[in-house]
Chain A
Amino acid sequence: MESLTALLVGLLVAASVYLMLARNFLRFLFGLILLSNAANLVIFAAGRMTAGAPALVPEGASVPDGVIGNALPQALVLTAIVIGFGLLAFTLALTFEAYRRLRTLDSDEMRHAEPDEGKTEAGR
C-alpha cells in the first residue's frame, strides 16, 4: 500500500512540475495544488498504512483495544489540508485580481514590479 502511494506521489509531483513550468500563472497554481496534495500524501504514507480500526478508546477503558491506525498523521494531514486550502483560496483570489488589473497572467509580461530596463516604456 505504501509503495503504491509513493508511486502516486511521484506521479503527482511530476504532473505538478510540468504544470509549474508553464508561463501562465493559472497553470502554475494548478501545479501548486497537485504539489500540496502530494505533500499531504507523503505525510499520510509516512505514518505507515495499516488496516486497523480508528483510534477510538472504548467507554470505560483507557487504551483502545486491538490493532488501530496511526491517528497522528491523520491529524497532521487534516491541519495541512485546511491550511493549504486557505492559502490556495487566497492565491486564486490574488490571481483573479491580478488578471483583472494587469490584463495578463503570462509571467513574461508581468514586469510591473521589476520593469525590464532594456525595453522602452512604449514597448511594454
Chain B
Amino acid sequence: MSWLLALPIAIPFVTAVIVYLLRNRALGRWISLAGSLASLAASAALMVAVLRDGVVAAQMGGWPAPFGISLVADYLSAVMVVITAITGLATAVYALGEIEERLERLGYHALFQVLIAGVTGAFLTGDLFNLYVWFEVMLIASFGLLVLGGSKEQLDAGIKYVALNLVSTLVFLSGIGLLYGVTGTLNLADLHGAVAAVEDQALITVIAMMFMVGFGVKAAVFPLFFWLPASYHTPSFAVSAVFAGLLTKVGVYALMRMFTLVFVGDVGFTHEILIWVSALTMLTGVLGAAAQTDFRKILSFHIISQIGYMTLGLALYTPLALMGGVFYLVHHIIVKANLFLVAGVAQKLAGGTDLERIGGLYKSSPLLAALFVVPAFSLAGFPPLSGFWAKFLIVKASIELGEWLIAFVALFVGLLTIFSMTKIWGMAFWKPHPEGIEPTPDRVPARIRVPMMLPIAGLAAMTVLIGFFPEPFVQFAETAAVQLLEPAAYVEAVLGLREARP
C-alpha cells in the first residue's frame, strides 16, 4: 500500500532530476509532460484506493506511527492530490506553448516539478514537521519560478513574496516547536488525542493562533495577504496559473486539517475569529479587485476574496459548511488556474494585460471569449456552473446557522465579482482595440497557440461538467466533510486499533 501514497510525490521528484539534466534539449519539456501524465495516473490510482477503503495510510521506512513519518490520504487529501495533478498537467501542456527556451535553460521544468512534488507532499503527509518540510520544498521552488527571467518587476515582487512567506514559515515552525513541547508528539493523528488530553487548554489556544497566523499568510487571508497582489502578476502565465490554483490552497488545506483534527478544543473562540477573518477577506479582496485595471491584478485580488469562502466553510464548522468548503476548494483551483491561462493567451494576442490598452478579443477570437466566459461566470457563481453550487452550499450553511450578516456578505461579494468579470469582459473582449489591432488567433503561430488553448478548453469543460452533474461531486464533498468532522477513521488508519488516550 505504501507505494500508492509515495508515488504521487516521488514521480515529480524523479521527473525534476531528469528534466534538469536535459534542460538544454527540447526533449526535456516532453519528459516533463510525461511526468505530469504519470503523476495524474498515480494520483488516480490513489483516489481509487481511497474511494474503496475510506482512509489510506502508510508508514515511511517501516517505522510505526507515531514514531515514524506517516503518509495519509483521506477523501480531502486524495481529491487535492488529484486536482494538483490535473492542474500540473494543464500547465505543463500550456508551458509547451508559452515558456521560451531561455527559461527552459534556466531550469523552468525542474522547478515546476519540484513545486508539484512539494504541494502533493503537503497534502499527503500525516506528520506536522514533515508538513513544514513540504512547505519549504514548495516555497523554494516557487521562489525560483517567481524570479525566473529576472525582470525588474519580478525581482521587486520576489523580495516581497520571499520576505513575508519566510516570516510566516518561522511563525509556523515556532508553533510546531511549542506544540511538541506541550504534547511530545508530531504525528497529526496522535496529536488529535494528545492535544485534547492537555490540561492547560489556554496554552493550546495560544499555539493554535500561531498556526492560524502562519497558515493564514500562506492562504492569503485578511489582513495577511499583501504579498499576493504584489507578486502574482509578474511571472510567466503558466507560473501564475499554477501559483493561483495551488499555493494559497495549500494554506487553506493546512488550516482545514489543523482546525478539524488538532485544534478543536475551543471552537467557539478560534473558529469565531476565522468567521470574521473570512468575511473581511472576501470583502477586501473583491474591493481591491474593483480598483484594478490590469487583467492579472484583478484576478489576483479575486483569489483573496475567494479564499474567504473556503475558510468560511471551515469557520462555520457544520457538516454542510465544510462540505461547501471542500467543494469550493476543488471548483476554485480549476476555475482560477484557467482564468490566468486565458489571461496569458489574451496577452499574446492583444499585446498586454493592461485592460486600457487591449480590446477587440470578442470579435477577433470568439473561441477565447467563449472559454473566458465559462470560468469567469463560474467564479461569480452563475448557475449552472460549478461556482454556483459552491456558493450555494456556503450561503445555505450560514443561513442555517442564522449568520445572516455573513450570508449577506457572501452574496454581496458574488455580485461584486460579476462587476469585475464584466469589467474584464467589456474592456478586453468587447471594446475595440485602442490601437486598431485585430487580435485574431493567427497572430500567434499554431505551435504556440494550440498547446495554450488545449488546457483552457479542458479546464472549462471540467467546470461545465461539475456544474451540470454536481451530484457525485457534492456527495464526495459530503463524505470528505464527515471525515473531517469525525476523525476517528483517520486516527485509526494511522495509529491502528490502539487504545485511545485517556
Contacts and interface: CB of A to CB of B under 8 A. Distances in A.
A55 interface: no
Nearest to B139: A87
Q: How large is the interface on B (under 10, 10 to 19, 20 to 34, 35 or more residues)?
A: 35 or more
Contacts of A50: none
A105 to B, nearest CB: 9
B233 interface: yes
Q: Which 7 interchain pairs have the tightest Cβ spacing? A: A46-B181, A43-B177, A112-B156, A113-B157, A42-B177, A98-B155, A113-B156
Contact of B230 (A48, A86, A113): A113
B166 A102 contact: no
Contacts, number: 107
Nearest to A79: B133
Contact of A79 (B129, B150, B157): B129
Given A39-B170, A87-B140, 7 more contacts: A35-B170, A46-B177, A73-B180, A87-B143, A90-B143, A97-B147, A102-B155
Interface centre among B147, B169, B170, B182 (most CB of A within 10 A): B170
B159 A95 contact: yes
14 contacts: A35-B170, A39-B174, A42-B173, A42-B177, A46-B180, A76-B177, A80-B132, A87-B139, A87-B140, A87-B169, A91-B162, A94-B147, A97-B150, A110-B159
B156 A98 contact: yes
A32 B166 contact: yes
B231 A46 contact: no
Given A46-B178, A101-B152, A32 B234 contact: no
Contacts of A36: 166, 170
A94 B155 contact: yes
Given A39-B173, A42-B174, A43-B177, A94 B140 contact: no
Given A25-B163, A28-B163, A32-B166, A113 B231 contact: yes
Given A39-B170, A46-B177, A90-B140, A102 B152 contact: yes
A54 interface: no
Contacts of B163: 25, 28-29, 32, 91
A108 interface: no
A114 interface: yes
Contact of B158 (A39, A45, A94): A94
Nearest to A90: B143
A16 B176 CA distance: 20
Contact of A83 (B136, B159, B176, B234): B136
Tell me whether chain B's interface is mostly helix, strand or loop, or mixed.
Answer: helix
B166 A91 contact: yes
- For the residues of A in contact with B, the DSSP-based class is helix
B160 A113 contact: yes
A38 interface: yes
Contacts of A35: 167, 170
Given A87-B136, A87-B139, A113-B231, A38 B158 contact: no
A47 interface: yes
Contacts of B180: 43, 46-47, 72-73, 76
A102 to B, nearest CB: 6
A44 B229 CA distance: 36
A44 B181 CA distance: 9
Nearest to A73: B180
Given A39-B177, A46-B180, A101-B150, A94 B136 contact: no
Contacts of A28: 163
Nearest to B135: A83
Given A25-B163, A98-B159, A113 B177 contact: no
Given A28-B163, A42-B178, A76-B129, A113 B150 contact: no
Given A32-B166, A35-B167, A94 B159 contact: yes
A111 interface: yes
Nearest to B179: A46
A36 B163 CA distance: 12
B266 interface: no
A18 to B, nearest CB: 14
Interface string A60-74: 000000000000110
Contacts of B155: 94, 97-98, 101-102, 112
Contacts of A94: 143, 147, 155, 158-159, 162
Contacts of A44: 177
Contacts of B400: none
Given A90-B143, A102-B155, A110-B156, A38 B174 contact: yes
B114 to A, nearest CB: 13
Nearest to A35: B170
Nearest to A100: B155
A7 to B, nearest CB: 16
A29 B163 CA distance: 8
A113 B234 contact: yes
A38 B170 CA distance: 9
Contacts of B143: 87, 90, 94
B474 to A, nearest CB: 39
B153 interface: yes
B153 A113 contact: yes
A20 B170 CA distance: 14
B38 to A, nearest CB: 27
